[in-house]
């Protein structure tokens, strides 16, 4: 199937093919609210997490716990990843999408767990309505993969993803502690040394009828933490207290969200939050999501320590991460439908 970039570039395109019309599927743009300055996405100062002052560290751990409980999304600033490296990675992704259709076809991939897979929509083989999105997904850890084009992609993404793993690991230490667990609880229980990390770049070209199309449908992310950056163009919305909220771009920061496996592990204390990407008719939006998850063979279940301490019943059954991932990637992307299957 041709990529949406080529479709968007067809001369004189003024309307979208009906196969991209998402309005039948509850396209409730009206529900979008502007962020209330009193209740906006929390900001976490990463430098305080690694601070030698115990007071500062315990304060930021509290903030992190609150952010996970109330929002499931937070902005991370002072993260130590060089801005230049962030720009170069975004640029490398843009250059990937600018390869010719034929060059990109080489990386099409067939199976959902193929190490390199580029395509359009989410899972075009099972979808009736397509999303206004092209993507490339690359498995970058525990084994590093990379397309051999464009120039520099491999070196830049290797370094970037390594830096992101360091940030994710620190955040997961803080999240462990915020749950009252030992700081290294999550990294041990999830076998992070061989944790799966996926680079996902999304391209949303200008769309002549943005109100009818959808870039990415409402969904939660599967892993533990996703770190997202974008090329300065807004489009991400998250569901907060029953309303779609526009996410603003904070330069030189990561937007982080907790995935389904944090929800399972924390026995529902921290939820994965449903989000979607809408499109616009003026500018190409590129987002870069780095998903950090358990190792593929880890069976994730609610933490026994948490459950015993609080005399709770487990609210989810254990599932191997690989099985969860295959289910999510080979079906239609639909809210929290895979997580719903493992709820008790
Ligand atoms: O483009 C975005 O901002 C969202 C991307 C996303 O949700 C994803 O790749 O899982
Ligand atoms: Fe997502």
Q: List the single range of 23-27, 87-91, 327-331 with lowest mean pLDDT.
A: 23-27
In sequence order, the 6+-apart residues with CB closer than 8 A to the CB of 26 are none
Q: Write the ipTM.
A: 0.99
Residues paired with residue 44 on neighbouring β-strands, in sequence order: 76
Gap from CA of 287 to ligand 1 centroid (Å): 7
Spatial contact of 218 and 274, defined as CB atoms under 8 Å apart: yes
- Is the CB of 247 within 6 Å of ligand 1? no
Q: Is the pLDDT of residue 171 over 50?
A: yes
d(CA 142, CA 198): 10
Measured from the Cα of 275, ligand 1's closest atom is: 7
Band (pLDDT 50/70/90 cuts) for residue 29 is very low
Q: Is the pLDDT of residue 337 over 90?
A: no
Average pLDDT score, the chain: 93
d(CA 217, CA 213): 10
Band (pLDDT 50/70/90 cuts) for residue 23 is confident
Residue 236: its pLDDT value, please? 96
Q: List the single range of 54-63, 296-305, 329-338 with lowest mean pLDDT.
A: 329-338
245-286 pLDDT per residue, tens: 999 889 999 999 999 999 999 999 999 999 999 999 999 999
- Is the CB of 287 within 6 Å of ligand 1? yes
Q: How many CA atoms lie within 13 A of 1 on its CB side?
A: 20
Spatial contact of 68 and 175, defined as CB atoms under 8 Å apart: yes
The 216-219 sheet, strands edge to edge: 32-33, 243-246, 236-240, 275-277, 216-219
274-308 in b/e burial notation, b at 16+ Cβ within 10 A? bbbbbbbeeebbbbbbbbbbbbbebebbbbeebee
Residue 132: its pLDDT value, please? 96
94-141 pLDDT per residue, tens: 999 999 999 999 999 888 899 999 999 888 888 888 999 999 999 999
d(CA 314, CA 306): 10
Helices (H) and strands (E) in the chain, counts: 11, 15
d(CA 54, CA 48): 9
Spatial contact of 338 and 328, defined as CB atoms under 8 Å apart: yes
Joined tokens for residue 64 = 């992190």
Gap from CA of 129 to ligand 1 centroid (Å): 18
- Is the CB of 221 within 6 Å of ligand 1? yes
Higher pLDDT, 101 or 25: 101
pLDDT (average), residues 138-167: 98
Residue 124: its pLDDT value, please? 81
Gap from CA of 320 to ligand 1 centroid (Å): 23
Gap from CA of 17 to ligand 2 centroid (Å): 25
Query: CA 62, 66, 69 angle in degrees (round to 5)?
Result: 140
- Is the CB of 275 within 6 Å of ligand 1? yes
Q: List the single range of 61-70, 117-126, 138-147, 288-297 with lowest mean pLDDT.
A: 117-126
Q: Is the pLDDT of residue 295 over 90?
A: yes
């Amino acid at each position: 199937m041709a990529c949406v970039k080529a479709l968007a570039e067809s001369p004189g395109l003024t309307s979208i093919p009906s196969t991209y019309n998402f309005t039948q599927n509850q396209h409730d743009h009206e529900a979008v609210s502007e962020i209330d300055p009193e209740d906006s996405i929390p900001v976490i100062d990463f430098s305080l997490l690694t601070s030698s002052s115990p007071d500062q560290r315990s304060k930021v751990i509290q903030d992190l716990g609150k952010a996970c409980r109330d929002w499931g999304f937070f902005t991370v600033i002072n993260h130590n990843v060089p801005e230049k490296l962030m720009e170069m990675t975004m640029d490398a992704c843009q250059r990937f999408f600018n390869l010719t259709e034929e060059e990109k076809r080489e990386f099409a991939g067939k199976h959902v767990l193929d190490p390199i897979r580029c395509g359009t929509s989410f899972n075009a083989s099972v979808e009736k309505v397509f999303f206004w999105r092209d993507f490339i997904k690359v498995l970058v850890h525990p084994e590093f993969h990379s397309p051999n084009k464009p120039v520099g992609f491999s070196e830049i993404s290797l370094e970037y993803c390594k830096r992101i793993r360091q940030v994710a690991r620190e955040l997961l230490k803080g999240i462990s502690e915020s749950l009252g667990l030992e700081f290294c609880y999550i990294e041990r229980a999830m076998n992070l040394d061989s944790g799966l990390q996926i680079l996902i770049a999304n391209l949303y070209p200008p769309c002549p009828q943005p109100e009818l199309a959808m870039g990415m449908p409402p969904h939660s992310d599967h892993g533990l933490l996703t770190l997202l950056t974008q090329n300065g163009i807004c489009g991400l919305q998250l569901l907060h207290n029953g309303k779609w909220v526009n996410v603003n771009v904070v330069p030189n920061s990561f937007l982080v969200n907790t995935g389904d496996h944090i929800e399972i592990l924390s026995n529902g204390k921290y939820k994965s939050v449903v989000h979607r990407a809408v499109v616009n008719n003026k500018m190409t939006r590129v987002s870069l999501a780095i998903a950090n998850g358990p190792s593929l063979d880890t069976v994730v279940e609610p933490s026994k320590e948490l459950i015993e301490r609080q005399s709770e019943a487990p609210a989810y059954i254990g599932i191997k991460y690989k099985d969860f991932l295959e289910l999510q990637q080979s079906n239609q992307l639909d809210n929290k439908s895979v997580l719903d299957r493992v709820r008790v």
